């Protein structure tokens, strides 16, 4: 592909991504993979260049552009070398007309500006994320893993955390294939640490998904105790099984819950659990470094639904805790409603619960919990709090 043809390919892909974001269709990565599967003639350099163009345009535009051309022109008008590739030649985009404008640059959609926590450094939300790893204590130690990953550096305050450069092909490494390490953002590792689980406890990861935090909890429990990974989506839980096998964490129990009737499936655990982790469905505003396209999908109506769902999950999670048990609430979101506001509302609804300080060398106190942000902590953005049921 010529450089100009790569620009046109990026425009075509952006058109598809914009439509998919508007209509709730497949994610950008899925559409890019499909595009090149149908175009075998594109070499690896072509694919990498087109993908870079697409994500440059996505990262630049906070609001969903009208067209892929507008998204790409927004980038090109800031880069004369790229603007020159709009030359109208074969497979190239038409020349940029005098006065033709591109998508406006920005980090956060205008409607969302006032809803983010006031400690969020907005420009850092779109920086490129490194590859963070957690050493799996069920099979290895950091000292044993280090020689196999010489490019890795330690993460301050996380004894099992390692950091690799952005884009490092970790899944091609023997350490990953053998289950010695798991890919896990430092923020997620901090949340697992905040749970304070110990061997012999009964622990429930209530919104387990594919089980990243479940596996971190498993490492802390050393195969002793009961660890339940629960979710309402079968395909998510199915992804945990091979990960648990690779990590030698096969003592994890999975529990598929019926959406909207989760409490029925959890009744046998009521009053018996030492720690419940609620890593709730959220807006994902803290993960824009990895998924900048999410800005184009989030709406006020969707945010309202998420806030209501988070409150509902917290309400059926609470009865699971034994007296003195801890409920850890976490979201990879940086809006006040999903974080500090959600915890304040829970405490107002439920007597006999208190928020307790979380002693970690990271983040900033925010209401009853801690706020992690890419700009301050170098991790994805999270809010999390630990709530204790009085004995």
Q: How many CB atoms lie within 10 A of CB 200?
A: 11
Dihedral sign from CA coordinates of 164, 168, 174, 176: positive
According to the model, what pLDDT value does residue 307 have?
A: 98
Stretch 366-376: mean pLDDT, rounded?
Answer: 96
Q: How confident is the model at residue 316 (pLDDT cuts 50, 70, 90)?
A: very high
According to the model, what pLDDT value does residue 195 have?
A: 97
The percent of residues in the chain predicted with pLDDT above 90, rounded, is 95
pLDDT above 80 (res 391): no
Q: How confident is the model at residue 199 (pLDDT cuts 50, 70, 90)?
A: very high
- Distance, in Å, from the CA atom of 257 to the CA atom of 255, rounded to the nearest integer, reads 6
Q: How confident is the model at residue 41 (pLDDT cuts 50, 70, 90)?
A: confident
Stretch 255-280: mean pLDDT, rounded?
Answer: 96
pLDDT above 80 (res 318): yes
Q: How confident is the model at residue 42 (pLDDT cuts 50, 70, 90)?
A: confident
- Answer whether 262's CB lies under 8 Å from 232's CB: yes
**Phi, psi (rounded to 5 degrees) for 88:** 75, 5
pLDDT tens sequence across 229-246: 999 999 999 999 999 999
| Mean pLDDT value across the chain | 96
Q: Which residues are catalytic?
A: 332
Q: How many CB atoms lie within 10 A of CB 34?
A: 13
According to the model, what pLDDT value does residue 183 have?
A: 96
Q: Where are the beta strands (DSSP E) in the chain?
A: 131-135, 153-155, 158-164, 181-183, 202-205, 226-231, 253-256, 273-279, 321-331, 353-356, 364-366, 369-372, 382-389
Residue 26, CA distances (Å) to 19, 29, 64, 294, 332 in order: 10, 8, 15, 12, 21
- Distance, in Å, from the CA atom of 259 to the CA atom of 251, rounded to the nearest integer, reads 25
Pairing state of beta strands 202-205 and 226-231? parallel
Lowest pLDDT segment from 37-41, 87-91, 111-115, 381-385: 37-41
């Amino acid at each position: 592909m010529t450089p100009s043809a790569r620009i046109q390919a990026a425009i075509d892909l952006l058109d598809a991504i914009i439509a998919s974001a508007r209509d709730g269709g497949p994610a950008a990565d899925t559409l890019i993979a499909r595009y090149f599967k149908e175009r075998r003639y594109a070499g690896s350099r072509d694919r990498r260049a087109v993908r870079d163009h697409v994500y440059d345009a996505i990262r630049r535009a906070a609001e969903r552009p009208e067209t892929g051309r507008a998204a790409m022109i927004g980038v090109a008008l800031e880069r004369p070398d790229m603007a020159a590739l709009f030359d109208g030649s074969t497979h190239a985009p038409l020349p940029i007309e005098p006065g033709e404008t591109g998508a406006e640059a920005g980090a956060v959609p205008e409607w969302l500006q006032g809803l983010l926590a006031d400690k969020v450094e907005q420009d850092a939300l779109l920086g490129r994320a490194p590859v963070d790893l957690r050493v799996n204590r069920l099979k290895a130690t950091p000292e044993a893993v280090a020689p196999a990953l010489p490019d890795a550096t330690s993460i301050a305050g996380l004894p099992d955390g390692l950091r690799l450069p952005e884009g490092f092909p970790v899944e091609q490494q023997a350490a990953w294939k053998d289950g010695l390490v798991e890919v896990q953002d430092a923020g997620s590792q901090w949340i697992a640490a905040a749970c304070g689980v110990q061997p012999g406890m009964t622990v429930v990861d209530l919104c387990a998904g594919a089980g990243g935090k479940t596996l971190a909890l498993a490492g802390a429990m050393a195969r002793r105790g009961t660890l339940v990974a629960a979710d309402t989506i079968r395909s998510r839980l199915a992804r945990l099984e091979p990960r648990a096998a690779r990590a030698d964490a096969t003592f994890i129990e999975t529990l598929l819950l019926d959406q909207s009737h989760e409490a029925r499936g959890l009744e046998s655990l009521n009053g018996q659990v030492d720690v419940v982790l609620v890593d709730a469905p959220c807006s994902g505003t803290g993960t824009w470094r990895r998924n900048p396209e999410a800005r184009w999908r989030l709406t006020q109506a969707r945010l309202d639904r998420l806030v209501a769902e988070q409150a509902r999950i917290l309400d059926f999670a609470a009865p699971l805790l034994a007296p003195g048990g801890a409920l850890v609430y976490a979201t990879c979101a940086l809006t006040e409603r999903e974080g500090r506001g959600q915890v304040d509302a829970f405490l107002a609804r439920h007597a006999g619960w208190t928020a307790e300080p979380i002693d970690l060398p990271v983040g900033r106190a925010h209401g009853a919990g801690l706020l992690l942000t890419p700009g301050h902590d170098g991790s994805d953005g999270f809010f999390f709090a630990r709530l204790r049921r009085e004995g």
